[in-house]
Amino acid sequence: MHDIRLIRDDPAGFDAAMARRGLDNASTPILALDDARRAAIHAAETAKAAQNAASKQVGAAKAAGDEAEFERLRAEVAATKARIADAEAEAKDLDAQLTNMLMGLPNILAQDVPDGADDSDNVEIKRHGTPPSFDFPPLEHYQIPAASGIDFETAAKLSGARFAVLSGPVARLHRALAQFMLDHHVTQNGLTETMTPVLVRDEAMLGTGQLPKFADDSYRTTNGWWLIPTAEVTLTNIVAGHVVDEDYLPRRYVAHTLCFRSEAGSAGKDTAGMLRQHQFEKVEMVSVTHPDASEDEQMRMLGCAEGVLEALDLPYRTVKLCSGDTGFGARRTFDIEVWLPGQDTYREISSVSTTGDFQARRMNARFKPAGGGKPQFVHTLNGSGLAVGRTLIAVLENYQQADGSVVVPEVLRRYMGKQEL
Whether 27 has a binding-site annotation, put simply, is no
Nearest residue to 235 via CA among 265, 204, 271, 272 = 204
Whether 414 has a binding-site annotation, put simply, is no
Whether 351 has a binding-site annotation, put simply, is yes
Annotated catalytic residue within 172, 261, 332, 366: 261
Cβ pair 235, 255 in contact under 8 A: yes
Annotated catalytic residue within 172, 366, 390, 397: 390
Whether 348 has a binding-site annotation, put simply, is yes
276 is catalytic: yes
Whether 333 has a binding-site annotation, put simply, is no
Annotated catalytic residue within 287, 351, 361, 362: 351
Whether 125 has a binding-site annotation, put simply, is no
Cβ pair 217, 261 in contact under 8 A: yes
Whether 349 has a binding-site annotation, put simply, is yes
Whether 25 has a binding-site annotation, put simply, is no
Interacting residues of 274 by C-beta distance below 8 A, sequence separation 6+ = 141, 142, 150, 164, 280, 389, 390, 392, 393
Residue 139 burial (CB < 10 Å; 0-12/13-18/19+)?
middle
Whether 310 has a binding-site annotation, put simply, is no
The per-residue DSSP string of 383-419 comes to EEEEEHHHHHHHHHHHTB-TTS-BBPPGGGHHHHSSS
Alpha helices (runs of H) in 104-220, residue ranges in sequence order: 152-158, 169-187, 202-208
Annotated catalytic residue within 8, 38, 276, 317: 276
348 is catalytic: yes
76 is catalytic: no
Nearest residue to 254 via CA among 348, 350, 186, 354 = 186
Annotated catalytic residue within 45, 69, 310, 348: 348
Whether 281 has a binding-site annotation, put simply, is no
Whether 45 has a binding-site annotation, put simply, is no
Length of the chain: 421
Catalytic residue IDs: 261, 276, 348, 351, 390
Residue list, annotated binding site: 230-232, 261-263, 284, 348-351, 382, 384
- Residues at the binding site for ATP are 261-263, 348-351
